[in-house]
């Protein structure tokens, strides 16, 4: 086994679709085998806006919520970040979760998945820069899930499973790249 992978659901909105997509993507990845996946929902994690008195790069955390978040990330072999695109950018919840930590992200294998009406391509590009700056080792395959016309009357996805099935080839390719990054890191 390649170890634990944190699957981070980035949207914290009351009505959202990231949880729906995440559930089906995690199942797809689990069916592909060779990893234990733990879903971390940023809405449930409920980190306040960054409130540590010292810079995260120092690793001298005072708050219990930061210590728990640090332990989760540091204890994982890799992370998958599932982010929506809001107004051509990524949500504050994702940036906040990244900014809480620093050393924990260094050399961490990662896979970024964006979604939105146009696939979240703009937020993907922006977040790629941030994740690269904190030193994550990112899978190269881009996963941008287009959700145009996918919503029901309740603003939830009509068929999240069908969307993930439609995107399964690119998702599996990216997942395999993430597994290779984990294996390469394990060999060092």
Cα(26)–Cα(14) distance, rounded to whole angstroms? 21
- List CB contacts of 162: < 8 A, sequence separation 6 or more: none
> Could you tell me the residue ranges of all domains in the chain?
4-187
For domain 4-187, the CATH superfamily is: Flavodoxin domain (3.40.50.360)
How do the pLDDT tens digits run along the chain, 188 residues long?
Answer: 356 999 999 999 999 999 999 999 999 999 998 789 999 999 999 999 999 999 999 999 999 999 999 999 999 999 999 999 999 999 999 999 999 999 999 999 999 999 999 999 999 999 999 999 999 999 999 999 999 999 999 999 999 999 999 999 999 999 999 999 999 987 76
Q: How far is CA 122 from each of CA 90, 147, 173, rounded to the nearest angstrom?
A: 8, 14, 21
> In 3-state terms, what secondary structure has residue 58?
helix
How far apart CA 92 and CA 57 sit, in angstroms, is 20
Q: In 10 A of CB 15, how many CB atoms?
A: 8
């Amino acid at each position: 086994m390649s170890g634990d992978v944190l699957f981070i659901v980035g949207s914290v909105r009351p009505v959202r679709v990231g949880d729906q997509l995440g559930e089906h993507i995690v199942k797809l990845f689990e069916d592909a085998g060779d990893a234990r996946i733990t879903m971390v929902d940023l809405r449930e994690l409920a980190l306040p806006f960054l409130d540590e008195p010292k810079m995260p790069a120092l690793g001298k955390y005072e708050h219990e919520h930061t210590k728990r978040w640090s332990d989760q990330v540091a204890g994982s072999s890799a992370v998958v970040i599932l982010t929506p695109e809001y107004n051509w950018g990524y949500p504050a919840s994702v940036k906040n979760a990244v900014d809480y930590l620093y050393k924990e992200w260094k050399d961490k294998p990662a896979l970024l998945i964006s979604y939105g009406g146009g696939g979240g391509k703009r937020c993907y590009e922006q977040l790629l820069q941030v994740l690269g700056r904190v030193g994550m080792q990112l899978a190269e395959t881009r996963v941008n899930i287009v959700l145009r016309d996918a919503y029901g009357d309740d603003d939830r996805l009509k068929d999240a499973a069908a969307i993930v099935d439609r995107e399964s080839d690119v998702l599996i390719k990216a997942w395999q790249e993430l597994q290779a990054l984990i294996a390469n890191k394990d060999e060092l």
